[in-house]
A and B are shown apart, each in its own frame.
Chain A
């Protein structure tokens, strides 16, 4: 390797580690073999690898995502996330229904280009390596996912309702409308979860991350995204997932009032009719949540329908503080 000494020196400098070697990688096909200190060169840009990203899902053990690397930009030393090309297909279960899911680098690359400059989505560019693989170079977001952000607010639910809920839902509305905008561009997020909505502490924006999930829809192309939005919204209202088991433990007096129609049609033990345990919630807000429940006569099919009812409901909440 002609410039190995230069590579090693710069890789040591950028990683802060005493590396033995620094390989120059131009083909990321075998991403499992990449190591700390490797230098990726794609379309004339270089990135030094610092490690593999892990994904924890709601408190479960973290799983390594070998195709997602923490990296440092060779030129300016800024932190980047590199998502390397990894296509896979698998089945996931939603409410007992098996759904075929695809991880599509091409879809994520397309959405990254579509949302360039839009603070409501993670930012990045896509470069092609020597073998033609799509390497997504993502800006690191300075902050954490929404659930972590909400857990930092030290107060009980009634105080949260009085002081914070309006501010939180106002910020969340911007994120929900951003998904509506995405749908209007003919695209879907594909994996809407509360840990895929980040709170950027530097800019104050709440950007969505991870756009590579793809489903082949039959009738309603936005149903899965709306299901995710309903879960995120309900979480933001309750500041936790409310399960039947949790209600029995924490609000035993409410248990006898619960009916099957109060729960999610998909996640059977998740309470959507939150007014049953938080009676101070306004009817208008609770009615929005009920659209995601078993008792709903009609489900939202578009984000615009959701926002038409959520926006006035937020206006009825106590003024409180900004999120």
Chain B
């Protein structure tokens, strides 16, 4: 059973994804009532796109480093807003062939998070058509938790 004050906030490689965390910091700042997990989804470079093992490893390391940096930035934003550090955790989750939204939803169910916080980049209609929208997919598929979509 999800617990409402366990919050799952998501960030990705885009700077704008931190806007959702800043919003969250603004809402929760100074509160000791919530526990926040900040997660980022790592999609491993695929062998078809990076056939050379060493290049694939380099691309993987670069992606992971970028996401880990982003997670740390997000953590500092929340802690800087006087949310106790022991209430903030970070996690880099590997998609393992799932979509980003599927990976987030699986983490929500597994961790019993009652609220998902996700940013919306304002992608064009064409981009949404071709590549999908993580926030739209979460809104459509979340059945037992609240979803905050931060524009």
Residue interface mask B41-60, A partner, CB < 8 A = 1 = 00101111101000000000
Residue B99 interfacial (CB < 8 Å):
yes
Contacting residues, chain A, for B125 (C-beta < 8 A): 265, 294
Task: Count chain A CB atoms within 10 A of each CB in B100, B125, B137 and give the residue with the most.
Answer: B125
From the candidates B49, B100, B129, name the one contacting A265 in the complex (CB within 8 A): B129
Total of A-B residue pairs, C-beta within 8 Å: 76
Q: With the chains together, A227 CA to B46 CA distance in Å?
A: 22
**Which residues of chain A come closer than 8 Å to B133, judged between CB atoms?**
219
The CA-CA distance from A115 to B112 in the complex, in Å, is 41
CB distance from A183 to the nearest CB of B (A): 13
Residues A86-134 near B (CB distance < 8 A): 87, 89, 94-97, 99-100, 102, 104, 106-107
- B124 close to A216 (CB less than 8 A): no
The closest CB in chain A to the CB of B50 belongs to A102
CB 8 Å contact bits of A219-233 with B (1 = contact, 0 = none):
111011001000000
Determine the chain B residues whose CB is within 8 A of the CB of A87 once the complex forms: 51
Asked if A97 meets B130 with Cβ closer than 8 Å, knowing A216-B46, A219-B101, A219-B137, the reply is yes
The answer to whether A104 and B48 have CB atoms under 8 Å apart is yes
Bound together, the chains give a CA A107 to CA B124 distance in angstroms of 30
B43 near A218: Cβ-Cβ < 8 Å: yes
How many residues on A have C-beta within 8 angstroms of the other chain's C-beta atoms?
Answer: 29
Contact B49 A89 (CB under 8 A): yes
Which residue among B49, B100, B124 has the maximum number of chain A CB atoms within 10 Å of its CB?
A: B49
The answer to whether B101 and A102 have CB atoms under 8 Å apart is no
| A299, B49: Cα distance in complex, Å | 27
Min distance, Cβ B95 to any Cβ of chain A, angstroms: 10
Residues of A within 8 A of B47 (CB): 106
CB-CB under 8 A from A292, the residues of chain B are 129
Is the pair B124, A265 in contact by a Cβ cutoff of 8 Å?
Answer: yes
Could you tell me the distance between the alpha carbons of A24 and B49 in the complex, rounded to whole angstroms? Answer: 32
A70 at the interface (CB under 8 A from B): no
Q: Which listed residue (B45, B97, B100, B126) contacts A97, Cβ 8 A?
A: B126
- Given the contacts A96-B126, A266-B129, A220 and B99 also touching, CB distance less than 8 Å: yes
Closest to B45 in A: A216
Tell me whether B126 and A95 are in contact (CB under 8 A).
yes
Most interface-central of B45, B46, B131 (chain A CB within 10 A)? B131
Q: Counting CB contacts under 8 A, is A217 at the interface?
A: yes
A20 to B49, CA, bound (A): 41
User: Within B95-151, which residues are at the interface with A (CB < 8 Å)?
Assistant: 97, 99-101, 124-134, 137
Q: Does A196 reach chain B (CB closer than 8 Å)?
A: no
Of B43, B48, B137, which contacts A106 at CB under 8 A? B48
Q: Select from chain A the residue with minimum beta-carbon distance to B49.
A: A102
If A214-B49, A217-B131, A219-B100 are given as contacts, then 8 extra A-B residue pairs at C-beta distance below 8 Å, sorted by A number, are: A95-B130, A96-B124, A106-B47, A216-B49, A218-B131, A219-B134, A223-B131, A301-B132
Q: Could you list which residues of chain A lie within 8 angstroms of chain B, going by C-beta atoms?
A: 87, 89, 94-97, 99-100, 102, 104, 106-107, 186, 214, 216-221, 223-224, 227, 265-266, 292, 294, 299, 301
Q: What are the 4 tightest A-B residue pairs by CB atom distance, in nearest-first order?
A: A220-B132, A219-B132, A95-B126, A265-B125
